[in-house]
């Protein structure tokens, strides 16, 4: 294990849409390390084929989208959360487009180009934006290109997050805070210490624990396991 830790302001574990988006949001206020156990593009995001539901048409409305979601959720949805997500949707779409995301378009009756909105199960309006049938891959591409152009962000590919470093494990007081990560370099087999004031777990799910699944091999629940070992309640 290396003696001196690598110092960052933020450490992000995972290189999917959640981790990459967070990294871009905070890179203007500090240094960011993105740690991913495979190549930077290898994430569940990269395999997502479906589109994104958002209100972008004049014929659509937030209320319609909210009600469609609540009905499809069969009473299990938190309406306040649903409204917050639905109302934030259009702004997130604009952000993706500004990053270089290329959604599929079509020609309207006036000969102008517009978003090719689809209608899928549970939706009463056409509100599904997509990039052919590789929407996730296109999102990942746009995000990674922005990441590569940002000098405050470093991406550590083929680096495996072994465990979180907490003050409790270090015997530093009663409060339990995460102060870093032990990281294995898969190419050198060396374990290094990465320290930061903020550590983000964006490692995805654990679908690969099942025998039959379309989840990629990386979906092994590493972040959930690390959080549990650090004392975080896991539902």
Domain count of the fold of the chain: 2
Average pLDDT over residues 83-106: 98
Q: Pairing state of beta strands 190-195 and 198-201?
A: unpaired
What is the CB neighbour count within 10 angstroms for residue 78? 10
Print the domain residue range for 57.
50-133
Average pLDDT over residues 86-109: 96
Same domain, residue pair 110 and 166: no
Q: How confident is the model at residue 184 (pLDDT cuts 50, 70, 90)?
A: very high
- Which tokens hold the place of 19? 């981790």
User: Helix H segments across 73-161?
Assistant: 79-99, 135-148
| Pair 10, 21: CB distance under 8 Å | no
According to DSSP, residue 97 is labeled: H
Cβ-based neighbours of 208, under 8 Å, separated by 6 or more: 215, 216, 217, 218, 219, 220, 221
Question: Could you give the C-alpha distances from 44 to 10, 26, 49, 102, 131, in angstroms and in order?
Answer: 22, 22, 10, 19, 16
Give the model's pLDDT for residue 2: 56
Answer whether residue 79 is part of any domain: yes
Q: How confident is the model at residue 149 (pLDDT cuts 50, 70, 90)?
A: very high
Q: Is the pTM of this model over 0.85?
A: yes
Same domain, residue pair 59 and 41: no
User: What tens digit of pLDDT does each residue of 110-147 get?
Assistant: 889 999 999 999 999 999 999 999 999 999 999 999 99
Answer whether residue 16 is part of any domain: yes
Percent of the chain with pLDDT over 90: 92
Answer whether residue 101 is part of any domain: yes
Same domain, residue pair 57 and 40: no
Task: Supply the mean pLDDT for the chain.
Answer: 96
Same domain, residue pair 179 and 196: yes
Q: How confident is the model at residue 1 (pLDDT cuts 50, 70, 90)?
A: low
């Amino acid at each position: 294990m290396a003696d001196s830790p690598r110092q960052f302001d933020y450490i992000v574990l995972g290189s999917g849409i959640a981790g990459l988006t967070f990294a871009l949001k905070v890179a203007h206020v500090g240094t960011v390390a993105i740690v991913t156990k495979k190549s930077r593009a290898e994430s569940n995001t990269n395999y997502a084929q479906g589109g994104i539901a958002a209100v972008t048409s004049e014929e659509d409305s937030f209320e319609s989208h909210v009600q469609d979601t609540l009905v499809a959720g069969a009473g299990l949805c938190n309406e306040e959360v649903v409204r917050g997500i639905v109302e934030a949707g259009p702004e997130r779409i604009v952000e993706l487009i500004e990053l270089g995301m290329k959604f599929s378009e079509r020609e309207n009756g006036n000969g102008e180009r517009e978003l090719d909105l689809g209608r899928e199960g549970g939706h009463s309006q056409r509100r599904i934006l997509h990039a052919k049938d590789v929407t996730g891959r296109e999102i990942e591409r746009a995000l990674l290109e922005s990441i590569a152009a940002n000098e405050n962000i470093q991406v550590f590919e083929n680096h495996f997050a072994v465990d979180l470093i907490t003050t409790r494990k270090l015997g530093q007081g009663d409060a339990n805070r995460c102060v870093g990560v032990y990281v294995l370099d898969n190419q050198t087999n060396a374990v290094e210490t990465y320290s930061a004031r903020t550590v983000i777990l964006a490692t995805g799910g654990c679908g690969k624990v099942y025998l039959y699944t379309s989840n990629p091999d990386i979906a092994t629940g590493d972040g959930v396991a690390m959080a549990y070992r650090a004392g975080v309640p896991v539902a």
